[in-house]
Amino acid sequence: MKTLSDTFGRKFPYIRLSITDVCNYSCTYCLPQGYKKTPGDTRSFMSAQEISRLAKALSELGVCKIRLTGGEPTVRKDFFDILKDMKQNSNIPKVTMTTNGYRLDKIAEQLCEAGLDGINISIDSLNRETFKKLTGHDRLDEILEGIKTLQKLNFKNIKINAVLLKGINDNQEEFKKFGNFIKDKNIDFRFIELMQTGDNLEYFKKNHVSSKIFKDFLEKNNWIPQTYGKDAGPSLNFIHQEFKGKFGLIAPYSKDFCQTCNRLRITSRGDLRLCLFGNTGISIRHLLQDDTQKDELVDLIIKQLHLKKESHYLELGDTGITPNLSSTGG
């Protein structure tokens, strides 16, 4: 079996696959003016058939998890066709998604039926007004309803992500609200440190806060850190005997963050990105045009991995070619 590994000995069983750049939310840290087409980029998003070929090639490379992301993946009309095809025909053991929870109350059942293996839902605040201010949408209730339905259907792998923002959700009241939410639910809640991207320098300077503030809160309240699992993501998780759910924090600016990197990204237009913040991204789309191109595609991806750098160098303010996370698949 071929595997994906780089010159630093890291392995890449995990792909984040963006299927659209379009997002219907206008989160203050990502797309404050809402989604706008990239000027000059006339390329369409990959078709369902191209995505299907890609998933099959990735399974030959030992990829065992694909996360569908965007933009907002559920705004694609053929979202469920893509998901079902991947589950039924690609041999990828785990297909998960990241979503802003748009229409989750309506589609929760369909997601379970399609065989989705895990869902990451972005909820930056459980305070309705704060949520509305941050996203531009008064939709917190429908997301929470959707989560209830998923749980009723016994859907196992639910994670909630929030971006930690200075003066907005970095306080005890918010931390406690999230704690109450996961107290009797098998849900992991993680704070992600705000990352600087090409578009958000001013916002970043104003709102970035180290995740230490949350770590201190957890330690003070008897949450116990777990060691990183072998195939785990970048989240440092904490457990507590009185809580069913886990807390976690993702600190991209921490010293060893890139050492545990196990993921590659593919953009909605078919560019392979070796790092979320890299300066390179080659198109692999020309090799998604026919089923007979699979071996050539597999070889190209393996060769590209030799170019992966040791670190994202984000701490030096190098945001690479990522204007915002919606354009790369966050």
By the rule CB under 6 A, 235 interacts with ligand SAM: no
197 binds ligand SAM (CB under 6 A): yes
For residue 230, count CB atoms less than 10 angstroms from its CB and return exposed for 0-12, middle for 13-18, buried for 19 or more. Answer: exposed
DSSP β-bridge partners for residue 159: 120, 188
CB nearer to ligand SAM: give 58 or 97. 97
- And the tokens for 1? 């079996």
> Closest by alpha carbon to 125, among 97, 164, 81, 94?
164
Find the part of the chain contacting ligand SAM (CB under 6 A) among 66-74, 77-85, 240-248, 277-285.
66-74
| Position 68 contacts ligand SAM (CB under 6 A) | no
CB 33 within 8 A of CB 93: no
d(CA 219, CA 227): 15
Residue of 111, 150, 194, 275 interacting with ligand SAM (CB under 6 A):
194
One of 52, 69, 235, 304 touching ligand SAM (CB under 6 A): 69
Q: Work out how close the CB of 224 gets to ligand SAM at its nearest, in angstroms, rounded to a whole number.
A: 25
Do 80 and 119 form a contact (C-beta atoms < 8 A)? no
Least distance (Å) between residue 302 CB and ligand SAM? 27
Residue with tokens 């963050």: 257
Shortest Cβ distance from residue 197 to ligand SAM (Å)?
5
130 by DSSP, 3-state: which?
helix
Q: Any contact of residue 267 with ligand SAM (CB under 6 A)?
A: no
In three-state secondary structure terms, 110 is: helix
Evaluate whether 25 touches 100 at the Cβ level (below 8 Å).
yes
Instruction: Work out which of 96, 98, 169, 267 binds ligand SAM, going by CB under 6 A.
Output: 98
Contact present, 87 and 113 (Cβ < 8 Å): no
Q: Shortest distance, CB of residue 272 to ligand SAM, whole angstroms? A: 18
SS3 213: helix
CB 284 within 8 A of CB 266: yes
161: contact with ligand SAM by CB under 6 A: yes
Q: Minimal CA–CA distance to 195: which of 326, 100, 14? A: 326
Q: Considering only 1-9, 179-187, 190-198, 295-303, which stretch makes contact with ligand SAM by CB under 6 A?
A: 190-198
Q: Is 134 in the site for ligand SAM (CB under 6 A)?
A: no
Chain positions 105 to 124 lying near ligand SAM, rule: CB under 6 A, are: 122
Structure tokens at 103: 């229409």
Name the residue nearer to ligand SAM (CB basis): 61 or 160.
160
Give the C-alpha separation, 208 to 197, whole Å.
12
Write the binding mask 11 to 50 for ligand SAM: x where contact by CB under 6 A, - elsewhere. ------------x-----xx--------------------
Report if residue 192 touches ligand SAM, rule: CB under 6 A: yes
> Which parts of this chain interact with ligand SAM (CB under 6 A)?
23, 29-30, 69-70, 72, 98-100, 122, 161, 163, 192, 194-195, 197, 200, 325-326, 330
